[in-house]
Structures are given as structure tokens and as C-alpha cells.
Structure 1
Amino acid sequence: MIKLRYSPEDNRFHLQFGYSKTYFPIAKSIPNGFYHPRDKSWSYPNDPKTIKQLLNAFEPHDIRISPKEIPKQCGILEDYFKATRERNFTFCTTKSYYSHLFRLLVFTGKLPSNIRMIDLENYLDHLVTEEKPKVASVRASRQAFIFYFREVRKQFTHLKFPRMKVENKLPEVLSAEETRAIFDALPNRKHKMLLLISYSSGLRVSEVIHLKITDIDFKRNMVRVTQGKGKKDRYTVLASSLIEELMEYLKIREYNLLLKHSYNEMRSNPWLFPGMRNRPLNIRTAETIFTNAARKAKIKKKVTFHSLRHAFATHLLELGTDLRMIQTLLGHASVRTTQIYTKVARSRLENIASPLDRIPPTTEKTNLNKDSKKEI
């Protein structure tokens, strides 16, 4: 077996293999290589060009590596990134698929071209039995492997996996009182406005942090979501009761930016909720803001930032809004996704009478009641 490992002691990569007339000339041909007779290994400088040449030379011979040690400039998965750019994948999808592919390479210690079907099966089996992730995570892994090994590399032309049964869980829905309590728990104007707009317009956390001031249409009480999930633009509503408070927030936002930056830098910052270095607020920061607010409001339900979006849809449905309209506001591709809220909308369930209430009392029960009265 051919192994390539990095040694921090001399800052060099060490190549080891058993005696072979085939491998020795290849190792010798790589520039700046040095042979170590004592442990019968070759070492090479920590240089991306050299390591890339080394990997290309030994790739046909099933070289074993530690992917985390390989310099990024070597581009182990460069063909993957090229394919995602050509297909215009979203950043989130690209990042998710890459994570699953890289974990596979770490698990096997192989280059992509050396991966075999048994490797995919062993990794997925390890994933399910040892790490016990959610079904959605396993499905994402499978989808990443199908895309890369079947569609991009054409390595496994008939690659497919058996269908997994998806868990059908209903979301925890905040009541109107609980939602208001979360807003009231935030003294910070910026943090409060972040959650208010998310609930007011039914936005995902990634959508609300990427809002620009120009996305707010004050005349029409609308919010433009630019390139939301699935790279789709859409319009959604903005509560008229929020307009005045939002205008006040914009004045505070401008003042705070002026304290930290010059006037020109302040004017060039487009984000409604600015973060560090002229970038939007970090997604983790937004999630932490919600978590802290829910804790202060003493919410016992298992809720996340996305619960504001669930509350938006459920509360609209309880107010009698058409399901198709809610679908449009949420940006769902299929109404089937939106239909989940019909299962948690309180008004829909409260109007349903149990069949037990329609069954008349039995004769025996009536007679029993009469006898009881006589005894009394």
C-alpha cells in the first residue's frame, strides 16, 4: 500500500511503499524528492505544485492520503466545484455536498478516482450505525455521491440507493402571545427589528440577514426577497404597523454606522442588518439572538429562528388566508409543502367535532342516573 503523510517535524510529506520496481522510478522522478534509506521512504517539500504532481503520478496506483493534510491548492475536488459553477448551484448546496464528499474521502483515505462502490456502502453504513444522523442528512450524502460520482465523474453510471422513509414531524408553532413575548424580550432595537421582519414577512434566516434597504417597498408595504432558496426572487408582505418602527430603526442604524465608519462607508453599506466589514449580519449571530430572546421569554417549546416562519404561515392560515397565497408568500415550489400548516392551525382543528360528541347516551346510563337519583 502507498501512503502519503505530512510530518510537522520537518514540514515535509513522506511517501512510503513496499519494495517495487514500478513505484521507485515514479517517486524518483518527482522533483525535490529525498530518499531516506533508514525507513525506506521518500520525502517532499510542503509545496502544492510538488504534492499535486505526486498525487497525479500515484493516483493510478491507489495511493492512500489524509485529505485534511493535503493543501487546498492541489484541488482534490476541483472537478466538483467546476461542475457546481456550470450548473449554477447555490452556495448552500455546494457547501453541503462538498462537506459530504470530503467526509467520505477522510473516511476512506482515498482520492476520488480510487473510490469504489464498497467504499460508499461502508461509509453510509458507518454514518447510520455510528453517527446516527437525521434522515435528511443521510439523503443529502446520497444525493452528493450520485451527483459527483454518477453525473460529474461518470465513475458509477448506474449509482442509486434504496429509498429512505422520511420522518413526518410537525413543527412546534408559537402562539401569538408567545411570539409577542419573544419580541418584548429584546431591548436592542436592531435585534428586535430582525425578528419582527422575519415574522412579519415569513422570511428564512438566510433571507432576512441578506435584506438590503432597497428591498423594502414602503409605499406598497412589500418586501422583495432576492435570490432566496432555489435562487428564486419573490415579494412578500410587510406589516403596516411596522412601518413607523422600521423608519426609526433606519435612523438608529445610520447613526451607529457613522460612529464606526466614515460617511461614505456608511452610505455604501447596503445591508438592512449590517455585520462586520461591510457584510451582512452573520447567520449564527441571528440564530443566537433568537435563542436568547426565546430563553428570556421563558418559551418551553423546542423552537429555532425558523419557528418565526412557521408562526407566520400558521397564523395567516388561522386568519383565513388562502393556502395558495401563503404558498406564494413563503416561496414554496409546491403547495404540498405548505399543506403541513393545515395540520397545526388551531382554528382548523377547533372547528372539528369529535364523533364521540354525536353519539347519544346509552339507555343503561340513563336508567343508572335515574336509580342514583332515587337512592339520594
Structure 2
Amino acid sequence: MYNKNHIKEMTRLLTLKGCTPGTINAYQACMKKVLTFLDKPVDDITTDDLLDYLQHMITLGRTSSTINQNHSIINFFFSQVLRKHHIVAPLPFMRKIKKLPEILTITEVEAILNCSQNLKHKTIFMTIYGSGLRIGEVLRLRVSDIDSKKMQLRIKEGKGRKDRYTILSERNLKCLRDYYRTYQPNDLLFFPYSYKDKPMSKNTIEKEFKSTIAAAGINKKVTPHSLRHAFASHLLENGTDIYTIKSLLGHSTLRSTEVYLQLSPSLVFSTKSPLDQESANE
């Protein structure tokens, strides 16, 4: 039970903020779930009602990151759209449990690529890993974003609506050319079936990835995004400096990139103590 005009007003404000369509869709989906769950007029919703909803998410086993994301969306809706900041002000954010993601080895990445029977899906997985892309970024790629002369990929409006360039491997370029000859894309590089003007859905790629890792015999809890993690970790282990990796990944701050130091312990713990270096000089 909710007035659709409230969702429209939220959409208008998000559009004026310059949010991406993906962000706007996420806000819309979240608030529709919240308001449907509470099932009462928006003006009658209290702080306790919203606490009940967040508690419901905990009961469902949602992660702290997901719950906090919902918290932020609820906060925007009530403070910016309804201008009732006092209702959401008492809502606490959940303390984040920082778990390091599982990292795929180079052998496991190769197994994934070898077990992917569909050329389109294989090309997507290879591009995510070979260039360190987010799943949304790879699905928004255009044919014109591939620069085979400079061996670069242009990423338009990545996270935070920022453009950047990242590397393109020779092996990936060959795969992309095979894909181009087979599927003949016009503008959008990856599309579902014969709908060349529509992007593929993330769900499709996630389902295909899940079946591929099962076929490859990989038991780790990984997603397509894990290929991006592997890209960064493997570059770091091969001696690429962290500032270059930050640029390739499109991170806003070095803090986001520094997590890969923890994911590459062999690199960190192979460092000699300065005490040993002093002893060697004696």
C-alpha cells in the first residue's frame, strides 16, 4: 500500500543527482519492497515500523552490507522525498563484518574459461578477468570501446559515473574477434539472443557462472566479480604496483585497493625485515 507518486518523486530526485539507471532501479526496488512489507499509508509509517523491516532482513539472513544499503535508501526516501528526517534519524547502521573474498587461482580461472561452452559467456568471463571489469561495466561495453591499436578498453560511466581506460590482453582481443565474427554486434557488444539493442542481464551471467564453476569442480564461494578480484591479486603478485592497479580498477581511493595486499599474503610475507637487511650489511 503506497502512493506511486512518492516513488516517482524519488526517481526525479535521483535523476537530478545524476544517479545511474542501475542505482535508480535499486532504489525503486528497495522502497517497493519496504512499503509493501509495511502495508500501511506512507504518512503512518513510524520509526518502529522501519526497525521491524530491518530486523526482518536480519531474520532472512541478509548481510550487513545489504542491510546498510537498504538503510541508506530508506533514509534518502524519508528524509529527501517525504522530508521526515526525524523518522529515520534513530535508525542504527549495522556494524560491518569485514570478510575477505575468496580468490581464484590462475589455474582455477583457466578451468572456468575452459569449461565455458558458450562463446559469448566465455568472452564475458575473459573480459572481466583480463581487464578487471565490474559485471555492469562489461555488459555496457560498446564495440567502439575496444581500441585494438592501443590495446585498451574504454569504460564509460563506471562506478561513480567515472570514465577510465584499462588494459586489453592479446588473448582477450583474439577471443573478442572470434565473438564479433560469430555474433556480429552492431553497437552494444554483448546482448541477449537476437536483441542486439538490449544489454544482457546480470542474473543471466551470474547463473551461467555458477554452472560453469560447478563444471570446473571449484567449491569456493565465488561470483563473476571474483574474476575482477583475481585480476587485481594476480597483477599484484606479478609485481604491478598498487597505484597502477588502483587506476585500472577505477577505485576512488587507495584504501579500496589495499585490500588486495591482504588477499596476496605470499607477496606481503616474502618481504624481508629491515633487521635482516641490517645484519646482511654487517
Superposition deviation, residue 78 in structure 1: 2.1
Amino acid aligned to 1:318: E
Q: Percent identity?
A: 34
CA distance in 2, matches of 1:132, 1:244: 43
Moved beyond 4 Å, runs of 4+: none
CA distance in 1, matches of 2:236, 2:44: 53
CA distance in 2, matches of 1:307, 1:120: 33
- Tell me the SS of whatever aligns to 2:159: coil
Which digits, 9 at most, give the CA deviation of each residue in 1:306-361, with x for residues without a partner? 1100100000000111111111111111111111110011431451589xxxxxxx
Amino acid aligned to 1:338: T
Tell me if the contact between 1:209 and 1:280 (Cα under 8 Å) persists in the aligned partners: yes
Aligned to 1:271: 188
Q: Does 1:106 align with 2:36?
A: yes
Residue from 215, 218, 221 that aligns with 1:296 = 215
Residue from 66, 71, 82 that aligns with 1:137 = 66
- Give runs of aligned pairs for residues 142-221 of structure 1, distance below 5 A: 142-157=71-86, 159-160=88-89, 161-221=91-151
User: Normalization by structure 2: what TM-score?
Assistant: 0.87
Which digits, 9 at most, give the CA deviation of each residue in 1:137-167, with x for residues without a partner? 2111211122111123211247433343111
Q: Does 1:252 align with 2:171?
A: no
Tell me if the contact between 1:97 and 1:144 (Cα under 8 Å) persists in the aligned partners: yes
Superposition deviation, residue 91 in structure 1: 2.2
- Give runs of aligned pairs for residues 68-87 of structure 1, distance below 5 A: 74-87=4-17
RMSD: 2.2
Which digits, 9 at most, give the CA deviation of each residue in 1:17-63, with x for residues without a partner? xxxxxxxxxxxxxxxxxxxxxxxxxxxxxxxxxxxxxxxxxxxxxxx
- Give runs of aligned pairs for residues 1-376 of structure 1, distance below 5 A: 66-67=1-2, 74-128=4-58, 130-157=59-86, 159-160=88-89, 161-254=91-184, 269-276=186-193, 277-278=195-196, 279-351=198-270
Consecutive unaligned residues in structure 1, runs of 5 or more: 1-65, 255-265, 355-376
Superposition deviation, residue 197 in structure 1: 1.0
Amino acid aligned to 1:274: F
Determine which structure has more spread, i.e. the larger CA radius of gyration: 1
- Structure with greater contact order relative to length (CA < 8 Å, sep ≥ 6): 2
Amino acid aligned to 2:52: N
- Tell me the SS of whatever aligns to 1:272: coil
Which digits, 9 at most, give the CA deviation of each residue in 1:275-322, with x for residues without a partner? 242212222222222222211111121111111001000000001111
Tell me if the contact between 2:132 and 2:228 (Cα under 8 Å) persists in the aligned partners: yes
Amino acid aligned to 2:156: T
CA distance in 2, matches of 1:93, 1:340: 25
Distance change >3 Å, CA 187–CA 121, structure 1 → 2 = closer
CA distance in 1, matches of 2:179, 2:238: 29
Superposition deviation, residue 76 in structure 1: 4.5
Distance change >3 Å, CA 104–CA 288, structure 1 → 2 = closer
Distance change >3 Å, CA 120–CA 242, structure 1 → 2 = closer
CA distance in 2, matches of 1:189, 1:115: 50
Superposition deviation, residue 201 in structure 1: 0.3
Tell me if the contact between 1:198 and 1:208 (Cα under 8 Å) persists in the aligned partners: yes
Tell me if the contact between 2:20 and 2:161 (Cα under 8 Å) persists in the aligned partners: yes
Distance change >3 Å, CA 121–CA 163, structure 1 → 2 = closer
- Tell me the SS of whatever aligns to 1:223: strand
Distance change >3 Å, CA 280–CA 298, structure 1 → 2 = same
Number of residue equivalences: 270
Amino acid aligned to 2:150: R
CA distance in 1, matches of 2:48, 2:174: 61
When you count helix as a share of all residues, which structure comes out higher? 2
Which digits, 9 at most, give the CA deviation of each residue in 1:172-228, with x for residues without a partner? 111111111111112332222111111110011111111111000000000011111
